[in-house]
Amino acid sequence: MSQNDFLLSPMPGAQHREMGGVQIDMVRTGDARVKRVVYPVDFRWSTHLKPLVGTALCMHAHVGFLAQGQINIQYADGETVEFIAPQVVSIAPGHDGWVVGQIPAVLIEFDFEGETVQRLGLTSR
């Protein structure tokens, strides 16, 4: 089995959902959630999730490990940040994001639902 097969294989015990083409597998552990988020090729938050969410930008914090692919994000002030696997990811609320390249981006993410920013000491943008 290749590394890609392991990254994308079904996860026993995980809650699975799909939203705007994004595949999310989530397991609760203590007060946190651990998620595998698979962003497909050509995914862009403002195109695929903005109409579903209804906010101008993604207002979630994302903290974790990018195991595959590349994600670029842009904040409201125009700052753009590139994340290329393998890399730790810390993204503040208030951003657009998109997949770069021809492979899905796989993010292993840790969050505390609405308390992620405070619990992890992140700064809002």
Instruction: Provide the token pair at 22.
Output: 């994004």
- What is the per-residue pLDDT across 18-58, written as a single tens digit (0 to 9) for each? 999 999 999 999 989 999 999 999 999 999 999 999 999 99
> Rounded distance, CA 90 to CA 51, Å?
24
Please give the C-alpha separations between residue 111 and each of 29, 35, 91, in angstroms, as whole numbers: 10, 8, 12
- Count of CB atoms within 10 A of residue 38's CB? 21
Instruction: Provide the token pair at 89.
Output: 């990811």
The residue ranges of every structural domain in the chain are 3-119
Instruction: Provide the token pair at 7.
Output: 């990254």
Of the two residues 125 and 5, the one the predictor is more confident about is 5
DSSP H helices in 43-121: 45-48, 50-53, 116-119
- What is the per-residue pLDDT across 62-103, written as a single tens digit (0 to 9) for each? 999 999 999 999 999 999 999 999 999 999 999 999 999 999
Domain 3-119 - what CATH class? mainly beta
The whole-model pTM stands at: 0.90
